Copies of this chain bind each other. A is one copy, B any other.
Amino acid sequence: MKKRLNIGILGLGTVGSGVLHILKEHQEKISQVTGYTMGIKTALVRQIEKHQNQTDIHLTTDVETILKDPEIHIIVEVMGSIEPAKDYILQALKQGKHVVTANKDLIALHGNELTQVAKENHCDLYYEASVAGGIPILRALVDSLAADNIKKVMGIVNGTTNFMLTKMAKNGLSYEAVLAEAQALGFAEADPTNDVDGIDAARKMVILSRLAFGMNLPLSAISTGGIRSVTATDIQIAHQLGYTIKLIGAAEEQNGTIHGMVGPMLLPNEHPLSGVNNENNAVFVTGSSVGETMFYGPGAGELPTATSVVSDLITVAKNIRMHTTGDGFSHYQHETKLTAKEDIQAKYYLRLNMTDQTGTFLKLTQLFAAHQIGFEQIIQQPFDQNSAMVIIITHQGSKEQLDQAIAGLESDSDMVLKARFDVLEESICTKDY
């Protein structure tokens, strides 16, 4: 008979229930690939009554029951938030228990500390489910792309906002209308700030950067914007110009330094990320050797996220069998150096309203010329009786100079900047032969 590995699970919400389901449904395969039977022994819940009919596993409201149980080998943390999850995980690691977590906030903010404690206690700590739900992107970066020098990681890593932008594009709806719809469907929370302002995506970029570049990109160094300023008009005009607007998180290496951003970005329609719709996620990785690869799939949801948690559990089980636990998820580390602002290149989409009088347009072009920023495309349309709407796609230039030109624009009372989004320069996959 195969030896049993006991799991203690902290939290029995959506993802926790999914983990329960998968461990039960796929037990034959899991047992074959790991050499163990794996099952949840005890679950930490807030209210025992709420879950009594859901499962026959042991329920507790006291975390000590799990942390002090010598029969429990692995802890799955799917509570979310920083505390008390962090405290519980630290205690578990110090007791010699391996940990699998889906907690992106915790890993983004305290991943290094937790990794260090795991190492000191010869324990495994895995967190595949913390980024892009069911997409095995972290393992791909650490294992499969280990042979390559990764130059750029760029992704649609927030399902809520991707659902919203897809709806806006397909049905010509406003931000407010799709937000209400996303909330009604349970894709967006009552307070959508974390999603729509790009905060969730920025946290995921911290985790992706750590594994892709071996560096710690601080959250505060990620230039972070959200989708509140995206209008149906922007989406429609971008489409006419050959672009699709997506909320993109990107981190890029440049001469040993890195920089990151989150914000709405215009992608060429032929770019693989442009076709990633609804609540799906995708991460596009550029390596100096492999070129461009993309990993696509469900970014959230009970079973997809739980699949990633269970794949981590399988890895821990294999490590236990091979006596190789505690080796760490990634060995790739570099001193973190941030790219100086003057070295960052960018290309912008700008939408502004301008008083419709002789000379304003000249002022605008003089302003950009003074900062050596050229225009790739310009569209001017009447906005109302006294003003015009102007859309500009700039050429690529220094981000610092671009931002100086924009500061000049914002200080001119004849012009009002309504939207400023990044534009992706052509990449290999959108080029023709």
Interface residues of A (CB under 8 A from B): 18, 21-22, 25-26, 29-30, 32-33, 35, 128, 134-136, 139-140, 143-149, 167, 170, 185, 214, 270, 272, 274-278, 280, 287-298, 301, 303-304, 306-311, 313-315, 322, 324, 327, 330-333, 429, 432-433
**Contacts A289-B22, A313-B147 given: A296-B297 contact, CB under 8 Å?**
no
Q: Quick check: A298 and B290 within 8 Å, CB to CB?
A: yes
Q: Are the C-beta atoms of B303 and A291 separated by less than 8 Å?
A: yes
Contact at A128–B144, with CB atoms within 8 Å?
yes
Contact B139 A289 (CB under 8 A): no
Contact at B22–A146, with CB atoms within 8 Å?
no
- Contacts A/B (CB < 8 Å), 27 sampled: A18-B289, A25-B288, A26-B288, A32-B331, A33-B146, A33-B330, A33-B332, A134-B289, A134-B291, A136-B140, A136-B143, A136-B144, A136-B293, A139-B139, A139-B144, A143-B314, A143-B315, A147-B307, A147-B313, A148-B311, A170-B432, A185-B433, A278-B433, A290-B298, A290-B303, A294-B295, A294-B297
Report how far A303 CA is from B293 CA in the complex, Å: 13
Taken together as a complex, chains A and B put the C-alpha atoms of A167 and B432 apart, in Å, by 10
Cα separation A401 to B385 with both chains bound (whole Å)? 67
CB < 8 Å neighbour of A289 from B276, B288, B304: B304
A21 CB contacts on chain B under 8 angstroms: 289
Q: Which residues of B contact A327 (CB under 8 A)?
A: 322
Stoichiometry, copies per complex: 2
Contact of A293 among B135, B214, B433 (CB under 8 A): B135
Chain B residues near A33 (CB-CB < 8 A): 146, 330-332
Kindly identify which residue among B32, B140, B313 contacts A332, using a CB–CB cutoff of 8 Å: B32
A290 touches B134 (CB 8 A): yes
Report the bound CA distance from A149 to B32 in whole Å: 13
Closest to A292 in B: B297
* A287 CB contacts on chain B under 8 angstroms: 307
Cβ-neighbour of A30 out of B146, B294, B303, B330 (below 8 A): B146
Partner of A26, one of B149, B274, B429, B433: B149
Q: Which residues of the other chain, B, contact A30 by a CB distance below 8 angstroms?
A: 146-147
In whole Å, how far is A23's beta carbon from the nearest beta carbon of chain B? 9
Q: A287-B307, A290-B297, A290-B298 are in contact. List 6 more A-B contacts (CB 8 A).
A: A29-B146, A134-B289, A134-B290, A139-B143, A143-B143, A272-B272
Q: Check B315–A32 contact: CB distance below 8 A.
A: no
Nearest CB in chain B: distance from A210 CB, A: 14
Q: What are the residues of chain B within 8 A of A432 when measuring CB–CB?
A: 170
With A146-B33, A147-B314 known as contacts, the answer to whether A272 contacts B289 (CB < 8 A) is: no
- Contact indicator B26/A145 (Cβ below 8 Å): no
Using A33-B332, A294-B297 as known contacts, say yes or no to A303 and B278 having CB atoms under 8 A apart.
no
Q: Is the CB of B298 within 8 A of A296?
A: no
Max count, chain B CB within 10 A of own CB: residue among A29, A288, A327: A29
Q: Which of A148, A292, A331 has the most CB of B within 10 A?
A: A148
**Partner pick for A303 among B275, B276, B289, CB 8 A cutoff:** B289
Contact: B311 with A26, CB < 8 Å?
A: no
A189 to B309, CA, bound (A): 44
Q: Give the distance in Å from the alpha carbon of A75 to the alpha carbon of B250 in the complex.
A: 38
Q: Which residues of B contact A290 (CB under 8 A)?
A: 134, 297-298, 303-304, 307
Chain B residues, Cβ within 8 Å of A429: 277-278, 280
In the bound assembly, the distance between CA atoms of A305 and B3 in angstroms comes to 39
* Chain B residues whose CB sits within 8 angstroms of the CB of A170 once the complex forms: 432
A252 to B154, CA, bound (A): 32
**Considering the chains assembled together, what is the distance between the CA atoms of A330 and B33 in angstroms?**
7
Contact of A307 (CB < 8 Å), options: B276, B289, B331: B289
B residues less than 8 Å from A140 (CB atoms): 136, 139-140, 144
